[in-house]
Structure formats: structure tokens, C-alpha cells
Structure 1
Amino acid sequence: MAIDQTLFREAMSTLAASVTIITTDGPGGRHGMTATAVCSVSDEPATVLACINRTSTMNARVKQNGVMCLNVLGGHHQDLSMLFANPRICVEDRFAKAEWDRSITGSPVLSNALIALDCEVSEITEVGTHSVFFGRLTDLAIATEHAPLLYFGRGFHTLKPQGTAA
């Protein structure tokens, strides 16, 4: 039995997710996009995954470059998240709105990301409309002084850090 696409999307909108800007650079060029379909896979070896629509420019760039950095955003990054989610804004303008460093793989790393996970793509699986990119970590950076930016119910939310009054 096929599940109704609209019903499925409604159900998935209630699945809270961290907001991430996926970046890449290399022979295929620099690119970045906002995503919530990102998660850990294994700690041995340290592996994460990101799901990217097959028709997107980002999908082609990650395949060409073979690397990606998952920049997990804090609550203070909501505007940046919207900028990287807008396909009408050129890549240069997206990257001009924040401070970026270069990772071991060459991917852009958001200088004040909550977490930055630098990866080499180890496997790609095609599923429906998306490619699932598995990335083996080459490096990571953690800056936990900010509350995470979450996407839930088709809107942004920020968790209050532990020990903070409600």
C-alpha cells in the first residue's frame, strides 16, 4: 500500500531535527545548502549521513568533490539557514554573510558552528528522490556555548541550554 505523499510530509514535519548547512569544495566547485536530513551512523568508524535531492546542484557538487562538511547550526544562525535554503541566492552571496574557515578536506567550515563534521564521502546510496551520502569523519570541531537550532512543525525553534530558566 502506497503512503500518501502529503500525509507523509505532514508526519515528518513533527520529527524535530537539527538544522545543518552542508558545504563542499573541490574540482566540482564550492557550494552549500541547508538540510535537516543529517544524522550519525556509527562511531567506529566515525560516520555520518546526509540526504540530498538528486536534482539539486549540491548533490552533483558533493559527488564531484567527494567531500562535505556538516555545519550544525546554533539558534543565532536562523538567518544564515534561510539564506542557504534559498536556491535563488548565488553561492558567493551565501558564503559572504558569515565567516568561514577551510577544513582538512577543503570544505568550508562555519567559524562559529555548534558542531562541524568534516567528511570524505565513503558511500552513496540512491533512494527515491534523494542520494544518501555516507561520510567518514576526517575532523570535527565542537563549540557548545550556543543552543542548537531545530526545525519542527515547519518552523525554527531553539532549545534553552541546561540550567537556564524556562
Structure 2
Amino acid sequence: MTKLVQAEPRAIVAPGGPAFRQAMAQIASAVHVVTTLGPAGRAGMTATSVASVSDEPPTMLVCIEGASRTLAAIESSGSFCINTLSDTHEELAAIFAKRRNLDGEARFATADWITLATGAPVLAEALVSFDCRLIDVHLVATHRILIGEVVALGGTGLGGGLVYRRRGFGAV
């Protein structure tokens, strides 16, 4: 019979602020670049708060901070694309996470982009891309939850995935 080993209990910590961010840093999340074509041109950002909602109709969600320029562009355009990154896209993730001195169109010059149904930028070499029409927005605390109906799919399906954990990128 196998004996179960219990881990030492940790102290109970209030879930606010830094403690919550530290706890979330323990979770590995797929890395995406969320893009749109807004009134001022192409916009995009790195995101990990992405999930499927339903397969009938195909629906996705992404959570974006309320002051984000990309959020404003998505709300203006009514569309966005979730580009799931492969393990070869660590530099692209860093660029769209504002970890490099690039902004606006200069970010897009670092990769090949196409369009599908909505006109939002689609990363040509993404693992998968979900081209979405914005159908709902929910305000929750400091963020907006964007719900999009998937109107087209793209991507290569090639390679491993890129994840974010403990404040760094890694391959799976």
C-alpha cells in the first residue's frame, strides 16, 4: 500500500494585491498576442487571460486592463484576433508585452501578418489564430472581459507552445 505524504501546511495569506499576483505567477498559461485594426491603425498586446467559452457558436474570451490602448481599439473596431504563440515566438511575446523599445506599427514589422474575415492582424506563423467579432464586454474590477464569436480560424499547428510562468516565458 502506498503511503500518502502530506506537504507542510502554509500560512493562510489574504488574497489581495502582491500575494494574489505571486499565486497567479505559479500557474503556467499559454501566451497569445491579441490584435485588432482600430481607427488609428493596428494595435496589439501580449495576453495570457484567454479562454474558450463555447464551441456552438465558437466563442472566446480575453481579459484586458481597462486603460489599454488595444482595448480601446478593439471596442472601436468591434473585432479582434487571438494569436496563440509557438515556442519560437518568445521575442514576439516580449515585443507585444512592451519589454522592448518598440511601439505601434514597429511591433508589427517584426513578424509576418495576414488578415482573415474581420481585418484584424493575424500572425501568419501562429499555432492557431481565432479571428473574432466582438459580441459582449463585461467590466470586472480594473479589467474588461471581451467575448468574441470566432468567425475564422488560422494558424499552422506546428511546433510547441509558449507559456508564461513565474514571470518568464518557456516552451512546452
TM-score by length of structure 1 reads: 0.91
SS at match of 2:22: helix
After TM superposition, give the deviation of residue 28 of structure 1 in Å: 5.1
Distance between the aligned counterparts of 2:26 and 2:77, measured in 1?
Answer: 33
Larger proportion of helix: 1
Partner of 1:55: 67
Residue 36 (structure 2) pairs with residue 20 (structure 1): no
SS at match of 2:89: helix
The one-letter amino acid of 1:81's match is A
Distance between the aligned counterparts of 2:16 and 2:136, measured in 1?
Answer: 30
After TM superposition, give the deviation of residue 29 of structure 1 in Å: 3.0
After TM superposition, give the deviation of residue 142 of structure 1 in Å: 3.7
Partner of 1:163: none
Residue 147 (structure 2) pairs with residue 134 (structure 1): yes
1:66-145 alignment, distance < 5 Å: 66-86=78-98, 89-145=102-158
Preserved contact between residue 129 and residue 154 of structure 2 (Cα < 8 Å): yes
Q: Which runs of 4+ in 1 moved over 6 A?
A: none
SS at match of 2:94: helix
The match for 2:43 among 23, 31, 34 is: 31
Distance between the aligned counterparts of 1:42 and 1:17, measured in 2?
Answer: 19
Larger Rg: 2
Preserved contact between residue 117 and residue 139 of structure 1 (Cα < 8 Å): yes
Preserved contact between residue 45 and residue 136 of structure 1 (Cα < 8 Å): yes
- What is the aligned-residue identity percentage? 41
Partner of 2:6: none
Distance between the aligned counterparts of 2:56 and 2:40, measured in 1?
Answer: 29
Distance between the aligned counterparts of 1:90 and 1:152, measured in 2?
Answer: 24
> How many pairs align?
158
Preserved contact between residue 21 and residue 73 of structure 1 (Cα < 8 Å): yes
Q: Indicate the RMSD between aligned Cα atoms, in angstroms.
A: 1.3
TM-score by length of structure 2 reads: 0.88
Preserved contact between residue 29 and residue 165 of structure 2 (Cα < 8 Å): yes
